[in-house]
Amino acid sequence: MSNCKVLTCIVCPIGCRISVETGDDGGIGKITGNSCKRGIAYAEAECTNPLRTITSTVRVEGSQIKVVPVKTDKPVPKALIMDCMKEINKLRVSPPVRSGDVIIEDLLKTGANVIATGNSE
Ligand code: SF4
């Protein structure tokens, strides 16, 4: 027996609705609805190891600007997002912070760095 999962591809703004057939063993079968190969890669990853890029803010001490925006420089496993957010929320940085600065290296051993996407002087 097979199941079907319907996903919206978020790789580009077209947002194809992709159907993924999965077997009872969790194996991936037929993938339809994608307009390009990137949709297949997205659907396979979403069914096996879904990933997300995190965007957030980090508190800045000793500056009139109290927070600086940050994001991960690559997606992290969706299952680790809450733990990653706890690490990011714990952090305090001192100015100056420049866009592109690495705020946390190898966040929770995911291989992703947290980088600033704004400035704080
Ligand atoms: S399948 Fe291809 S065209 Fe469709 S949303 Fe994904 S990346 Fe865009």
Q: What is the 3-state secondary structure (H, E, C) of the chain?
A: CEEEEEEECCCCCCCCEEEEEEECCCCEEEEECCCCHHHHHHHHHHHHCCEECCEEEEEECCCCCCEEEEEECCCEEHHHHHHHHHHHHHCEECCCECCCCEEECCHHHCCCCEEECCCEC
Find out whether 57 and 109 touch, Cβ atoms under 8 Å. Answer: no
pLDDT at 118: 95
Residue 71 sits in a domain whose CATH number is: 3.10.530.10
Q: What is the mean predicted confidence (pLDDT) over 105-118?
A: 97
Q: Say if ligand 1 is within 6 A of residue 9 CB.
A: yes
Q: What is the mean predicted confidence (pLDDT) over 88-92?
A: 95
Which domain, by its residues, includes 87? 55-116
The answer to whether residue 63 sits within a structural domain is yes
- pTM for the model stands at 0.77
The answer to whether residue 90 sits within a structural domain is yes
Count of the separate structural domains present in the chain: 2
Tokens of 29: 């079968």
Cβ count within 10 A of residue 77: 15
Q: How far is the CA of 13 from the centre of ligand 1 (A)?
A: 8
The answer to whether residue 21 sits within a structural domain is yes
Q: How far is the CA of 7 from the centre of ligand 1 (A)?
A: 11
Nearest atom of ligand 1 to the alpha carbon of 8: 5
The answer to whether residue 121 sits within a structural domain is no
Sign, CA dihedral 61-66-71-73, equals negative
62 band by pLDDT with thresholds 50, 70 and 90: confident
Q: Say if ligand 1 is within 6 A of residue 7 CB.
A: no
Q: Calculate the CA 89 to chain-centre distance.
A: 16
pLDDT at 23: 80
